[in-house]
Amino acid sequence: MTDLERQLIEKSQQGDIESFELLIKEYQKLAFNIAYRMLGNTEDAADATQDAMIKVYKSINSFKGNSSFSTWLYRIVTNTCLDELRKRKKDKTLSYDRGIETEEGTLEREIPDTRNIPEEAVERKEQLQDLVEAINRLPEQHKTVIVLRDIKGFSYEQIAEILDCSQGTIKSRISRARMALKENMQKNTELYKNRYVKI
């Protein structure tokens, strides 16, 4: 934690709103991205991020510095999103209105006009769309660790702090989540093939 961040935290705890706004400024984009990956659309992500920031402001006096401020903040964001996902539990499918970011760019949910795109690129777009849909079908616990680890790149230690459990538990959850994701991808492939099987 930098001296500036420590000062901003102390002033925020004293009710200084300007200091609080400066404090959370650098974390808001990633907070929104986490919410977006978990909830699947910009409107819900914006609402969840705003709700989380209000919670951060109201509970900032409880921050004792036992973990980094960013980890504490992302824990609140993640829990806010999990609360929203639980409210949606009756819905069988959560849809992504865009894609998920990868090192190579943004993973789009919708495949664009592919008439002038090389066959390999079309196949890759289809595979990436299948990946989004497979992540979409994961239980909330699995989806959360996939988002935090494989999409946003948090370390095992950070995820353990965010989700308030041991690193061993996190590693186990990630292993099970990746296995479930692989099974979902295989099911997608089988369904795709079966579309073209003549009966």
For residues 181 and 133, the answer to whether their CB atoms sit within 8 Å is no
Residue at token pair 């705003």: 50
What percentage of the chain has pLDDT greater than the value 70? 75
Better pLDDT: 115 or 130 = 130
Q: Is the pLDDT of residue 105 over 60?
A: no
Cβ contacts of residue 56 below 8 Å, gap of 6+? 24, 73, 76
How far is Cα 106 from Cα 99, in angstroms, rounded to an integer?
6
Q: What is the pLDDT of residue 47?
A: 95
**Quick one: fold of 94-199?**
Arc Repressor Mutant, subunit A (1.10.10)
pLDDT band at 111 (very low <50, low <70, confident <90, very high): very low
pTM above 0.75, yes or no: no
Q: How many CB atoms lie within 10 A of CB 172?
A: 13
Q: Is the pLDDT of residue 112 over 60?
A: no
pLDDT, one tens digit per residue, over 26-65 is 899 999 999 999 988 899 999 999 999 999 999 999 998 8
Instruction: Give per-residue burial for 124-161: e unless 16+ CB within 10 Å, then b.
Output: ebeebbbbbbbbebbeeebbbbbbbbbbbebebebbbb
Least confident stretch, 11-20, 116-125, 127-136: 116-125
Longest Cα pair distance anywhere in the chain, in angstroms? 71
How far is Cα 114 from Cα 68, in angstroms, rounded to an integer?
46
Cβ contacts of residue 101 below 8 Å, gap of 6+? 33, 107, 151
How far is Cα 81 from Cα 144, in angstroms, rounded to an integer?
9
Task: Quickly list H helices, the chain.
Answer: 3-13, 17-25, 28-39, 42-59, 69-87, 119-136, 140-145, 156-163, 167-194
Q: Where are the domains of the chain?
A: 1-93, 94-199
The DSSP line for 68-105 is -HHHHHHHHHHHHHHHHHHHTTT-S----SS-EEETTE
Q: Which two tokens stand for residue 182?
A: 């692989």
Residue at token pair 């200091």: 19
pLDDT, one tens digit per residue, over 54-104 is 999 999 999 988 889 999 999 999 999 999 988 877 554 444 444 555 444
CATH code linked to domain 1-93: 1.10.1740.10
C-alpha neighbours within 13 Å on the C-beta side of residue 32: 12
